Amino acid sequence: MENNRVHLSIENHVGIITLNRPEVGNAIDLQTAKELMDVSIFCSESEKIRAVVITGAGNKFSVGGDLKSFANEGDEISSHLKSVTAYLHQAISYFARMNKPVIGAVNGVAAGAGMSLACACDLVYASENSKFVMAYNKIGLTPDGSGSYFLPRLVGMKRALELMYTNRLLDAKEANEWGIVNHVVSEDKLMEVVLDLAGNLANGPMNAFGATKKLFYHSLQETLESQMSKESLLLAERANSIEGKEGISAFLEKREADYLKH
């Protein structure tokens, strides 16, 4: 795809999305948000892509919103931010709703909307030198990019508010302990480890992953009984799907399931 600020490459059925403004810490401006949305749509629809990785160019994941570009809008800043967040939020919605697993490879600072984007990924692997900070309240703003949705669900309400009020900066180890990060990896091994995982997931039952993702993300809005009802319906549906039949057959025949051909 011909994008300048967001780069997409495909390797072994893995869509690798790179925020590509290293000269400004991969800050998100209007064009970046729009390109991220375009890429998210492509990834959700492309049959060539079965898992997605999001990372940043250079030594940062993303410092968040491009405040300089926002301030340049003067009195039009409110309408401008509505446009930016319209694209950014639609992108995050597609990442959260797509069947493909989405893995964040946080290779440095993830601040503001950069931290929100990381929190929105299904799995997050971070380099040892990565840092996480919400940063919004420090400049008199409130979170965007799904931060107010995912952060309390990941760390709990008290810790989420602490991160917002105090702008506390978490290093990779703390972010791992708090449940924001799944694993901490050395800087030189980060992409190797993430791409190996993404490649394995791309060979897995993509539609089962997608159904599981929907179940988990919807669970906090359901009662016990309504959630179990969803579980019953999806389980029955998956068992009778091409993937389910291949998975069950492979188990009974004591062989590896081949989901790419099914």
Q: Is 262 annotated as catalytic?
A: no
Cα–Cα distance list, 67 to 3, 20, 89, 145 (Å): 21, 17, 18, 15
Cα–Cα distance list, 185 to 104, 130, 139, 219, 247 (Å): 12, 10, 31, 30, 31
Which residues sit opposite 132 in a β-bridge? 110, 170
Instruction: Report phi then psi at 89, rounded to 5.
Output: -70, -35
DSSP-assigned states of every residue in 10-27: EETTEEEEEE--GGGTT-
Q: Which of 29, 66, 122, 144 is catalytic?
A: 144
Give the 3-state DSSP-derived string for 31-47, with helices as H, strands as E and coil as C. HHHHHHHHHHHHHHHCC
The burial of 214, by beta-carbon neighbours within 10 Å (0-12 exposed, 13-18 middle, 19 or more buried), is given as middle
Q: Which of 65, 82, 59 is nearest to 29 (CA)?
A: 65
Q: Which of 7, 89, 183, 262 is catalytic?
A: 89
- Pure H helices in 156-189: 157-166, 172-178
CA distance 23 to 17: 17
Q: Is 66 annotated as catalytic?
A: no
DSSP-assigned states of every residue in 123-154: EEEEETT-EEE--TGGGT----TTHHHHHHHH
CA distance 248 to 250: 5
Give the catalytic positions in this structure.
89, 144
